[in-house]
Amino acid sequence: MKIVIFISTLFAASCATSLAEKRRPNLIWIMADDLGYGELGCYGQKSIRTPNLDLMANEGMRFTRFYAGATVCAPSRSVLMTGLHQGHTRVRGNAKSSLQALQEGDVTVADVLKQAGYQTALIGKWGLGDVGGAEAGLPRKHGFASFYGYLNQDHAHNHFPDFLWRNETKEALRNDLVPTGTSGAGYATEPRQYADDLFADEAIRFVSDAGDQPFFLYWSMIVPHANNERTLALGDGAEVPDSGTYANEADWSPQNKGHSAMITRLDGYVGRMMKKLRETGLAENTLVVFTSDNGPHDESGHDLSKFSPSGPYTGIKRSLTDGGIRVPFIAWWPGTVQAGSVSSRAAYFPDWFSTAADLADVAAPKNLDGISLAPVFRGGEQRRHEFLYWEFHEKGFAQAALYQDRWKGIRSGGADAPIKLFDQQHDVSEQKNVAAENPEIVATINRYLQTARTPLEGWEPVWKSSDP
């Protein structure tokens, strides 16, 4: 009798464990490259068509105050992977050296999810490790079981490359390149294979083959980043297989058509993924996030005044004003995230690590700078950040912090330079410096900026006279 009871207990425990495993959601993080806050219809765009992302927002939660990890590519991705803000993460700026690589001992969200039994895949752009001197940062050394895409962000400047990486092996593509003498290796004279098309196919294939084991897919597109090699050679960095419906816009420049077509093509990729999740019965157990790595660019020759890519905010990529760091963020999880909901809480990239660990029911490192958004996705409340933090190194060191979801402080030009203060409750475009009227707020932000970052070799502040 005791044996029967013991076996029954084991069976019940096994079933409970199996059900618990099934309840752990799949996680898909879809990230555009240099897509501005205002470049989607659901965020106010009037000229560029994004029906699938608009539907995703209607069926999910749209954040109006979500921020990237940085105002440029590499540090933003480092923040995302490590859950540490820019003053604590490994890669704090763009750099053409081993400084732009994660190191042994850096713990990523993929590390933790893989150890928790998740299948992990990175498809697209990495930018945090490379062959030839930065191997410590290769994706498969930081939690990803499989990788397909670009290791080096300069390589990713070409939308029609002559090869992509499959793990640590080059896979040749059928694109013939003309060298330009720059690090991106050239531009395609006979473009045949568009990298993001290949990434979309790979992402759909990964989800289709996932089986019962929970998965984390980091799908890191390169659209609508400019094809910088093409810009240098021909002045048209908005290279895309076709202009789609924008071909009929007679008064649009080729660059305006190409840029718009890239975003609409991106939108189609997301639509394919949502359709696949529904077809496979995975939709109600899968959280899909869509966002961008930083603010919009001006590098392909398209007309920013036509599209207002930053929405109502000031600045673009490489700015610490909100136009450079505030990005679209949509969370879609049918049956869990309330359809048509909108969140105005201030959140940012460090929150993803904490959120993913929370949803996977696994312990996260104690030193993370993020706060889990899982309760928010489920319609509940969660504590808020007192401060959000960013820095920028490329034009002389600068720092920025958002305090109490309202007060934005920016300092550049020296450690003792005055802080510019903006009241985002009344001035979303950060036009009026209200530091003189709010000395106590300035003092609070000043104290925070002095302690927000930890020293890291290669990333010490180099102050120059500059204006953010």
* Inter-residue contact 301 to 235 (CB < 8 Å): yes
Angle ∠(197,53,303) on CA atoms, nearest 5: 75
Torsion angle, alpha carbons of 56, 58, 64, 68, to 10: 0
Question: Could you tell me which of 350, 442, 411, 454 has the C-alpha nearest to residue 83?
Answer: 350
The band of 18, judged by pLDDT with boundaries at 50, 70 and 90, is: very low
* Inter-residue contact 53 to 40 (CB < 8 Å): yes
Q: Between β-strands 176-178 and 169-172, what pairing exists: parallel, antiparallel or unpaired?
A: unpaired
**pTM of the predicted protein model:** 0.94
The 10s digit of each residue's pLDDT in 419-429 is 999 999 999 99
Query: Is residue 10 one of the residues assigned to a domain?
Result: no
The mean pLDDT value for 238-257 works out to 95
Query: Is residue 456 one of the residues assigned to a domain?
Result: no
Strand partners, 134: 130
* Inter-residue contact 133 to 146 (CB < 8 Å): no
pLDDT at 186: 75
The 10s digit of each residue's pLDDT in 175-187 is 988 877 655 567 7
The 10s digit of each residue's pLDDT in 256-277 is 999 999 999 999 999 999 999 9
The 10s digit of each residue's pLDDT in 37-74 is 999 999 999 999 999 999 999 999 999 999 999 999 99
Residue 118 belongs to what domain range? 23-385
CATH number of the domain residue 165 falls in: 3.40.720.10
Q: Are residues 46 and 177 in the same domain?
A: yes
Sheet holding 286-292, edge to edge: 169-172, 163-166, 146-150, 119-125, 215-220, 26-32, 286-292, 329-332, 61-63, 341-343
Q: Are residues 302 and 411 in the same domain?
A: no
* pLDDT at residue 14 tops 70: no
| Residue where one domain finishes, among candidates 385, 403, 419 | 385
Query: Is residue 303 one of the residues assigned to a domain?
Result: yes
Determine which helix (DSSP H) or strand (DSSP E) holds 76, and give its type and residue range: helix 73-82
Q: Are residues 208 and 261 in the same domain?
A: yes
Determine which helix (DSSP H) or strand (DSSP E) holds 391, and give its type and residue range: strand 387-392
The 10s digit of each residue's pLDDT in 376-417 is 999 999 999 999 999 999 989 999 999 999 999 999 999 999
Q: Are residues 381 and 414 in the same domain?
A: no
The mean pLDDT value for 119-135 works out to 96
Tokens of 47: 């000229």
Determine which helix (DSSP H) or strand (DSSP E) holds 190, and give its type and residue range: strand 187-190
The band of 13, judged by pLDDT with boundaries at 50, 70 and 90, is: very low
Burial of 32 (0-12, 13-18, 19+ CB in 10 A): buried
Q: Are residues 400 and 380 in the same domain?
A: no
The 10s digit of each residue's pLDDT in 84-97 is 999 999 999 999 88
Q: Are residues 350 and 399 in the same domain?
A: no
Query: Is residue 316 one of the residues assigned to a domain?
Result: yes
Query: Is residue 31 one of the residues assigned to a domain?
Result: yes
Calpha distance 266→159 (Å, rounded): 13
47, HSE (Cβ side, Cα atoms, 13 Å): 20
Q: Are residues 215 and 348 in the same domain?
A: yes
Domain count, the chain: 2
| Residue where one domain finishes, among candidates 333, 360, 385 | 385
Tokens of 217: 């897919």
Q: Are residues 428 and 371 in the same domain?
A: no
Q: Are residues 136 and 163 in the same domain?
A: yes
Q: Who's near 178: CB < 8 A, 6+ residues apart?
A: 186, 187, 188, 189, 233
Q: Are residues 417 and 355 in the same domain?
A: no
- Distance of alpha carbon 347 from the chain centroid: 13
Which of helix, strand or coil describes residue 392?
A: strand
Question: What DSSP string describes 259-278?
Answer: HHHHHHHHHHHHHHHHHHHH
pLDDT at 228: 80
pLDDT at 243: 95
Query: Is residue 349 one of the residues assigned to a domain?
Result: yes
Q: Are residues 283 and 328 in the same domain?
A: yes
| Residue where one domain finishes, among candidates 366, 385, 404 | 385
Question: Could you tell me which of 263, 145, 164 has the C-alpha nearest to residue 206?
Answer: 145
Q: Are residues 124 and 54 in the same domain?
A: yes
Backbone angles phi, psi at 156, to 5 degrees: -75, -5
